[in-house]
Structures are given as structure tokens and as C-alpha cells.
Amino acid sequence: MALGCAVMNTLGGTTEDQPDHPGHDIRRAREAAGLSQAELGRRSGLGVRTVRRVEAGQGSPEGRTIAALRRVLGLPVEGAPPDPIAVLRTVDTIDLIAEISRRLMSADDITRRRRNPPELPAHDLEWPRRNEPNTGHAGHGGQ
């Protein structure tokens, strides 16, 4: 089958007839990038049959399958976490170091507070004795 021809899907229509189908964008982006289905499969860690089925609109591919193909092609992946390598390429090194330092200092502060909790005033540590009325709290009166 030639790359430029329409691909039939399981409902009898083509992916060109259904531009909202995920395979439509993937096929167009793959062709624009000059990749074969086999190369796209290799780069995304999927089999060539899976790539063909997605592009043809056959079956119901899992979200992670669509996400893997879209990431390789540089297409946005809705609802998926961004590719960490791509994010790091866009972040300024100084900003990254500052953010890491801020988070480490915050974590260190939390750890320090857990190891050394603040001292409570002595009156908060004393419980009323059984024979003494407790007038400080409603519903806990004396006997």
C-alpha cells in the first residue's frame, strides 16, 4: 500500500475521513518527519504492526501506546507527564539549580523539625487527675 493512499479502518471509513482519530495525526506527523512505520515503531519501543493498526484506526490502542508514538514525533501528549529530557532541554541551568536548592532546603527543614519537635509548654503536658475537677474543657467536668 502506498504511503499517500487512505487507510481503511475497521468501520469501513478511512483515517482521512476521521481527522479526530489519534492515528490521523500520528500518520501525518510520521510522514512529515520522513519516518517509516518500522522506524517509528523502533524509536517508540513498539512493533510495526502496532504502528500500522494505530494509523489505520483499528482496535482501541492503550493511552500509553498513543503517548509513546506522539512523544517520538514531538506531538503534545494530553494528560501525560512531559518527557523529562525535553523539559530539561528547555530549562535554564541556573533556574534548575535554584529550584533544586530550594527543594532540598525545604526537605532539610522538614527533617530537622521531625527530629527536634518544638517544646510544648508544661501546662499542656499535664492531664487532670481523676479526683480533681476539670473546669478547663466543656463536657469533662468533675465527679
pLDDT tens series, the chain, 143 aa: 333 344 444 444 444 445 567 788 899 999 999 999 999 999 999 999 999 999 998 888 888 899 899 989 988 887 666 667 777 777 788 888 888 888 888 888 888 878 877 776 666 556 666 665 656 555 555 44
Which pLDDT value is given to residue 3? 39
Class of domain 22-79: mainly alpha
Which pLDDT value is given to residue 47? 94
**Integer angstrom CA distances of residue 107 from 110, 117, 121:** 5, 15, 27
Q: Where are the domains of the chain?
A: 22-79, 82-117
pTM of the model: 0.45
Q: Do 55 and 66 touch, CB atoms closer than 8 A?
A: no
User: Please, which residues bridge with residue 8 across strands?
Assistant: 14
Which pLDDT value is given to residue 23? 86
Phi, psi of 58 (to 5 degrees): -90, 140
Which pLDDT value is given to residue 120? 64
Which pLDDT value is given to residue 134? 59
